[in-house]
Structure 1
């Protein structure tokens, strides 16, 4: 065990860990919720620390040894991330999380210089956190992570959309009955149903691509409340460019650092667009479930796992149900993020960790949903025989005849013939002296236009 002390007192910390006293106190104060940090967020946090030490070194605030040891420690982030143990939903607007990173980097850098943990040849505050505050580092790391994750999500949407459009082309000649309010309506092509899903995803793809323009504006350099207190002007001017260079993410310094520190509405905007994608994924997934259900059975769902522990041979639409569950969670997260973004007070939003955590979790859930769906949709096959049967058994197939005979007339003949299409058309043909075979064939092909009749009363 090793000892560390702060102005509150002294504690003993295991020799096996890289974190220090602030992290130790946070672990005691904040019971673990089971939530895990997004990997891109941790990467972004370490890269901001790396960029900051580069700028501070270039400005003459750090010597060669301190600089080189911190750089090496930051580059070991994939190993050191295991020591970032403070709960993502800890209190304090993220201070404990920032200090967890600072202490881990400082202790590892101290080791690299031949020192022992807690000796702090490299100091977590004076060196690693130099010219920074939790209040500018934390939201900047969150925005960088969100941009990185959004790009991956958009790629998933593109592939899902492409896969649906492939099915649209495969199914474009298959006629079936369309439905409104779960009741038979008018004919539609199976491919057209898939095409509508693809267009909905196209909107989501574009919206999420464009929102990056707003999320890339960061408040780094603003320190505590956006005024840049305790940071030199040269650092403030250079830090954003250096982070952009290190992360290869196109961030930009906010025009108003105070605004960017206290107002987190952009996260609410991103979350709202993620919710829109979730809404469409739920709609698509439920449509797949309905079309593949035993009663409709117009598509053949892939057999990817047994569906029951008691009913032999049963297959369930497990992937659409998986996507629905994750997407419903995203909708719930959006409500949480919206409320949290509105509850910031004066110069800071104390709920920043929760806002960023659940925005990233929403993206993660949607990435998983789109990934699962894109593979599943590839395996869907049409049931052409059932599509035709359902179509021909639906009395709504007669709907196009209202152009020839009028709504009331068609309704009366349907009712008189017990909703039998062929008998109703036969009676109408006799009454209006129309060729029955020509009319019924046109009706079955959904092509009543061009018959040359004008038979409305």
Structure 2
């Protein structure tokens, strides 16, 4: 970054007085105050949110120009500066912690100051001068943190889920579907209560995982309709004081053109600013995806346990050594990593639920928490889907000998005899076989319950997998 002064500091002022700001930085007095006052944790404000708010600032400048409230030259400077922020050029200029004002005011002002100072620089004016572009009067014109910040959360969350998460879910589901098709004729024993049950095919089992993922994706996509209603134009309390008529509509029209989806500001702004039910509901949809992934990876590691002293029906890729002391050990590490990540998402969903209930009169004061967790969880789940697909599912194979052994030894194949000889006689065959260490066929003949020919006709694992209408 270019030095802007021979001194390491410059003086900037806000409504509370003067503040020393590092000379090379584009942020101003309010950001510097916040940087020193909110040194909580290691959770910086998510950059996708910064980029989304920068896009709002650019659209707002254009809308104000259309309405005759901002001259073309200032609009151009602000637009260029905001676009640079959107593109990530000035990511290092946003140092603030998530744990700040519940409205996100410090981050909104961080954006206003960076854009204003960069705009002044583009105009040939010194940083901090505010002579041609003012952070409040121009960059924040027609806006309040209370409507801009939640609008940014909506845009950043929707964008991440639409462009990253949904494709990642779809790719993982497709990978499972390919395995299900390839293994559609492999008959295995089913398990309920972790005990032997009737047969199904491996393709049928895996198709359930794919269907869970497709359903989770559909729920997330259905939530976009509510996410795309934003409170822009409500300013401080929802009345729109300080924003000219038509400002919100013009801004949303530009956002819609740039994002390629329809953003609306026609909802009840008092509801959208006093509470954030749409964001809470979308987080619930992410939790449901996390629950599906958690179930799937637990199924996989159960089916792969062994390889010799467990079920061992699935063979997982050996991505890395599994033990520092046991040579040759391979562990289901992808399953474990995703299980931990999904547990984290489920926990963060509870934080979002609490935050969403934190509306105080005309404003919810947990906005940064909602932003952090929605964006973080969307990114984490995207990564989970990608990692599972590439490092586990695509290299997963079957242990046919184990599958056939468990299938053929299962006592629950006797279920096919119940309609033929009755439940009680079938139960006696299973109990006798288990007690005496016999096969079902041997036990049935020994008890003279059914002929060998009739047994062979009735007990056919492949036929038992047919889906009944």
Residue aligning to 1:454:
none
State whether structure 2 residue 132 is matched by structure 1 residue 117.
no
Question: 1:441 Cα deviation (Å)?
Answer: 6.1
| Structure 1 CA distance for aligned equivalents of residues 127 and 294 of structure 2 | 50
The worse-fitting range, judged by mean Cα deviation, of 144-153 and 17-26 is 144-153
Unmatched tracts of structure 2, length 5 or more: 1-8
User: For 1:241, which of 253, 257, 266 is the aligned residue?
Assistant: 253
Matches for 1:23-102 after TM superposition, within 5 Å? 23-77=31-85, 78-102=88-112
State whether structure 2 residue 267 is matched by structure 1 residue 255.
yes
| Structure 2 CA distance for aligned equivalents of residues 290 and 193 of structure 1 | 13
Q: Give the aligned CA root-mean-square deviation in angstroms.
A: 1.9
| Structure 1 CA distance for aligned equivalents of residues 439 and 51 of structure 2 | 71
1:51 and 1:246 in contact (8 A); partners too: no
User: Matched residue of 1:185: which SS?
Assistant: strand
After superposition, give the CA deviation of every residue in 1:353-396 in whole Å (9 maximum; x if it has no partner): 11122111111111111111122211100111110011122222
Distance 1:182 1:423, change over 3 A: closer
User: For 2:397, which of 381, 402, 408 is the aligned residue?
Assistant: 381
Unmatched tracts of structure 1, length 5 or more: 450-457
User: For 1:354, which of 369, 381, 394 is the aligned residue?
Assistant: 369
Question: 1:332 Cα deviation (Å)?
Answer: 0.6
Q: How many residues align?
A: 449
User: For 2:194, which of 182, 187, 190 is the aligned residue?
Assistant: 182
User: For 1:172, which of 180, 184, 188 is the aligned residue?
Assistant: 184
The worse-fitting range, judged by mean Cα deviation, of 231-240 and 131-140 is 231-240
1:395 and 1:421 in contact (8 A); partners too: no
Matches for 1:149-164 after TM superposition, within 5 Å? 149-151=160-162, 152-164=164-176
Residue aligning to 2:207:
195
Question: 1:445 Cα deviation (Å)?
Answer: 3.2
* TM-score normalised by the chain length of structure 1: 0.94
User: Matched residue of 2:89: which SS?
Assistant: helix
1:395 and 1:419 in contact (8 A); partners too: no
Residue aligning to 1:366:
381
After superposition, give the CA deviation of every residue in 1:213-257 in whole Å (9 maximum; x if it has no partner): 111001101111110001111323422212222333421113322
1:442 and 1:448 in contact (8 A); partners too: no
Question: 1:189 Cα deviation (Å)?
Answer: 1.0
* TM-score normalised by the chain length of structure 2: 0.91
| Structure 1 CA distance for aligned equivalents of residues 92 and 220 of structure 2 | 31
State whether structure 2 residue 289 is matched by structure 1 residue 277.
yes
| Structure 2 CA distance for aligned equivalents of residues 202 and 50 of structure 1 | 36
Residue aligning to 2:423:
407
Matches for 1:384-399 after TM superposition, within 5 Å? 384-399=400-415
User: For 1:144, which of 136, 151, 155 is the aligned residue?
Assistant: 155
After superposition, give the CA deviation of every residue in 1:412-439 in whole Å (9 maximum; x if it has no partner): 2333344468555345346657431452
User: Matched residue of 2:12: which SS?
Assistant: strand
State whether structure 2 residue 341 is matched by structure 1 residue 326.
yes
1:263 and 1:349 in contact (8 A); partners too: yes
Question: 1:9 Cα deviation (Å)?
Answer: 2.6
User: For 1:305, which of 320, 339, 349 is the aligned residue?
Assistant: 320
Question: 1:297 Cα deviation (Å)?
Answer: 0.3
